[in-house]
Chain A
Amino acid sequence: MTPVAGGYALNLALGFSLFSIISVFWFHYNKDARLYFTAQRLVLGSCLLVGFATFVLAAELINSNFDIDYVAHYTSLETPAVYKLTALWAGQEGSLLFWLFILSIYAGTVVIQNQRRNVNLMPWVLVVLSVVMGFFLVLTNFVANPFAPTDADFQVMNGNGLNPLLQNATMAIHPPTLYLGYIGFTVPFAFAIAALISGDTGSLWIRSVRRWTLVTWMFLSIGIILGGWWAYQELGWGGYWAWDPVENASFMPWLTGTAFIHSILIQEKRDMLKTWNMVLIILTFSLVIFGTFLTRSGVMSSVHSFSASSLGPLFLGFVFFLLASSFALLAWRYSSLKSDSKIQSISSRESGFVFNNVLFVVLCFAVFWGTMFPVLTEAVQGTKITVGPPFFNQIVTPLALALLLLTGVGPLLVWRKTSKTSFYKNFPIPIFIGLTAAIVLIIIGFGSSVVMTASLSAFVLAAIMLEFGKGMQIRKTKLGETYSASLMHMISRNRSRYGGYIAHVGIVIMFLGFTGKAFDQEAEWGLRKGEEGHLAGYRFSLVQLSEAERPNHYAWIAEISVEDIGGEKVTSLHPEKRVYFHNNPNPDRRQPHSELDIHSTFRRDIYSVLSAVDTESGTAFMKIMINPLVRLVWIGGIILVFGTLISLWPRKEAN
């Protein structure tokens, strides 16, 4: 009975979404406010129905109802309860429902927050939200129904189970955070389109969505970082980013979204870049749907992608619909988006923001170009040419370094125009620190890419510290505060600005972490007990190879002793080779899985993978990697999120 109720809930939700659109158009023509409120309630009703359907599927997953095809494919009786729940987003149908669920939370929140506010914009916001929800409801109702019954011609006694790679705490968090980021861009997009339709193209829509956008952007950042963390901890190839099409699919809207959160500051402060902001949010949301197309269509040879399905053309069609209709609206309202304020000088902070935006968009284009290169070359030459990390690194690195430079230059520039006096006051110290770092690194013997990245990072950190130092000094002089008190009060009084600076520090630290990649080393050995291998000045010896039977897997465990060049013990590593579902009589269900062990320090990670075991000879085949500075990537990510949270934290006055 209940799975049927879930299906009916999705049917009804689609009906509610369609009627809410009709209600708004009707309201637009006869101005009867009851129709507007009806549309609001229909959207809320649609959200509740989607929530109910999601709850039903979650309950069926927990209860192992293998009569539902989705439950049978992604869970088994042995799957731990928490991972039965996370199976909600493990497959195509469930993840589409989960997408809808998050969208419904956002849409419901927008409706509740704006029941009697933004009356000019809200009817059209409801239309956009309902169109997007309607699209996903069409998919879940007619193309990828999560409640479809099992079509096997036998009684399914046990399901396929969840891939062990997904049975990981990070994987339980990574998709929801990524979805929260991805889907959240629907809200600023809806407000932007509403502003274009209503003609209210001032800064109202920007003020309404600034906080939304920052929250969304933060979740997308967390999702991307967690994806890298999961890949590093679970997949065993020793990296966190591979320029895979699906990774790029999340990175592209992040880039345009980052440009957007910078450029809306200019519209808020100086009433400029109104058209540009529209373009950015349209691009960002279109890239979100395009990224979903990449993942779902099977068009790209990605190691992540879902199987090829009929969803691809639907998503591509939706992207074209979004782009065509949005840019048509933009052309219609172009004259009303012109601003009287103009940038007064190339050396102004506004110019810095413009250059920053251009670089973000060009960088996004570069990633798009590399991602679509196989498809484009196949269309033009008839042969699919694929590109990998070396291609992306060569294209992206100069653009990313230019952005890093601007991260430091931006805070040193002055609004409207940076005078010579300001230039000589602000720039010498950061330039001196950057140059000193470059000279020291060159003398030590580092290569050009490390020297560039590290010296630019030093320049940016110095510029940010200078900003903090100046602010604190002023407060200390004028108000007699201590340095620590002035720091706290300064951040508290201007959270947006200083939170942004802290986020920039996080980015710089991540950049420093990226440079470590150039010094990665690895080796593969087959070792028997007592035998040893050498890498990067460390000695690795196999102490023992043991076995263990655990509730849902069997494990071979290698104990590897790591000593430094002086013979001093550094650590013991215990990578495992597991076979999940080892008791299952169906050999297809048994799933080998390498459980890594990583010894992590600020300087470098020692990364170990037990790749195979010869039980007869007692040989452990292992892969060892030395990965410098990886920890900085995660620490930088945490600082980035911390800075964003400071920017988001409401001021007392606002409370």
Chain B
Amino acid sequence: MAGISGVLMEQRNKIFLAVSGIVFVALFWIFRISTEADAQDALMISFLSLENIEDAGDRRVRLGGIVDPGSIVIQKENLLDCNFTLAQGSFKVPVHYTQVRPDLFKDEAEVIVTGQYVNGVFEADELQTKCASRYEGDLRNESSYQLEDLDI
């Protein structure tokens, strides 16, 4: 009996060691990816507030805010080329973006942009708007609006 229980104990120790090994290696891997300096630029992006935009240097960073009403300017020659102002309270940053814009991008849309701050302009390579679940505008009194040209 002692022999059998000894074998069982040995097997359980092996399983315990294997499970511990899996957990240890996995946690080490997660920790390494999370802290490795080389990986940070590629894998991790600082989310800065607009007031700290000068701290970005030449790093790729992420900003969030509201599209300043009336600030969207689309180039006539290239409809994908777009400038707008990102606002966060009283802080504002001009943004330049040249890729396909999400459908929900418009004045006062809440957006997240990723890119680099170059010579006072944020050159965005990613633009996300809050998605469908955030379709929550204030109710408007329709009588205050006049019909305007259709615009895309």
Residues of A that sit less than 8 Å from B by CB: 72-74, 90-91, 150, 152, 154, 156-160, 162-166, 171, 235-236, 295, 301, 303-307, 342-346, 351, 354-355, 358-359, 362, 365-366, 369, 373-374, 383-388, 390-391, 394-395, 398-399, 402, 524, 526, 554, 556, 577, 579, 582, 584-594, 609, 611-614, 619, 621, 623
Contacts and interface: CB of A to CB of B under 8 A. Distances in A.
A585 B142 contact: yes
Interface in B1-55: 8, 11-12, 14-15, 18-19, 22-23, 26-27, 29-30, 33-34, 39, 42-48
A369 B46 contact: no
B134 A305 contact: yes
20 contacts: A72-B139, A162-B135, A165-B131, A343-B11, A355-B19, A365-B26, A386-B44, A386-B46, A387-B44, A387-B45, A390-B43, A394-B43, A524-B80, A524-B100, A577-B152, A585-B147, A587-B151, A591-B104, A592-B152, A613-B79
Nearest to B26: A362
Contacts of A72: 139
A359 B30 contact: no
**Which of A154, A166, A303, A384 has the most C-beta atoms of chain B within 10 angstroms of its own C-beta?**
A303
Contact of B130 (A164, A303, A611): A303
Interface string B72-111: 0010101110000000000000000001111110100000
Nearest to A91: B136
A385 B130 contact: no
B66 interface: no
B3 to A, nearest CB: 14
B137 interface: yes
A510 to B, nearest CB: 22
Nearest to B48: A383
Contact of B47 (A156, A301, A556): A301
Given A150-B139, A388-B45, A526-B80, A613 B15 contact: no
Contact of A391 (B43, B76, B140, B148): B43
B78 to A, nearest CB: 6
A262 B96 CA distance: 50
A623 B139 CA distance: 34
Contact of B101 (A387, A394, A582, A611): A611
B152 A612 contact: yes
Given A383-B48, A394-B33, A621-B79, A585 B145 contact: yes
A385 B135 contact: no
A383 to B, nearest CB: 6
Contacts of A354: 15, 19
Nearest 6 interchain pairs by C-beta:
A163-B135, A612-B79, A384-B47, A611-B100, A391-B43, A165-B132
**Which of B30, B132, B134, B151 has the most C-beta atoms of chain A within 10 angstroms of its own C-beta?**
B132
Contacts of A166: 132, 135
A137 B64 CA distance: 34
Nearest to B135: A163
B137 to A, nearest CB: 6
Interface in B112-152: 112, 128-137, 139-142, 145-148, 150-152
Nearest to A383: B46
Contacts of B44: 373, 385-387, 391
A585 B144 CA distance: 9
Given A162-B135, A165-B132, A301-B47, A554 B11 contact: no
B142 A366 contact: no
A586 B26 contact: no
Contact of A344 (B11, B112, B146): B11
B131 A303 contact: yes
A394 B42 CA distance: 11
A90 B146 contact: no
A235 B129 CA distance: 11
B33 A391 contact: yes
Nearest to A556: B152
B137 A395 contact: no
A577 B100 CA distance: 12
Contact of B100 (A346, A402, A579, A623): A623
A619 B39 CA distance: 41
Contact of B139 (A160, A164, A236, A591): A160
A395 B11 contact: no
A90 B140 CA distance: 19
Contact of A387 (B29, B43, B137, B150): B43
B8 A342 contact: yes
A395 B29 contact: yes
A577 to B, nearest CB: 6
Contacts of A73: 136-137, 139
Contacts of A346: 11, 14-15, 18
Contacts of A369: 30, 34
B151 to A, nearest CB: 8
Nearest to B5: A342
B48 to A, nearest CB: 7
A87 to B, nearest CB: 10
A570 to B, nearest CB: 23
Contacts of B100: 236, 524, 609, 611-612, 621, 623
Contacts of A235: 102, 131
B23 A358 contact: yes
Contacts of A394: 33, 39, 43
A152 B141 contact: yes
B146 to A, nearest CB: 7
Given A163-B135, A366-B26, A385-B47, A303 B19 contact: no
A367 to B, nearest CB: 10
B34 A373 contact: yes
A366 B30 contact: yes
A358 B33 contact: no
A227 to B, nearest CB: 11
Contact of A587 (B101, B133, B145): B145
A612 B103 CA distance: 10
A462 B46 CA distance: 45
Given A166-B132, A366-B30, A391-B44, A158 B8 contact: no
Contacts of B64: 301
Given A383-B46, A588-B137, 17 more contacts: A73-B137, A91-B133, A163-B135, A295-B133, A306-B133, A306-B136, A384-B48, A386-B45, A386-B62, A387-B43, A387-B44, A391-B33, A391-B43, A398-B29, A526-B79, A587-B148, A612-B80
Contacts of B47: 301, 374, 383-386
A288 to B, nearest CB: 18
A305 B135 CA distance: 11
Contact of A160 (B45, B101, B133, B135): B135
A242 to B, nearest CB: 9
Contacts of B128: 303
B133 A343 contact: no
Contact of A590 (B34, B130, B150): B150
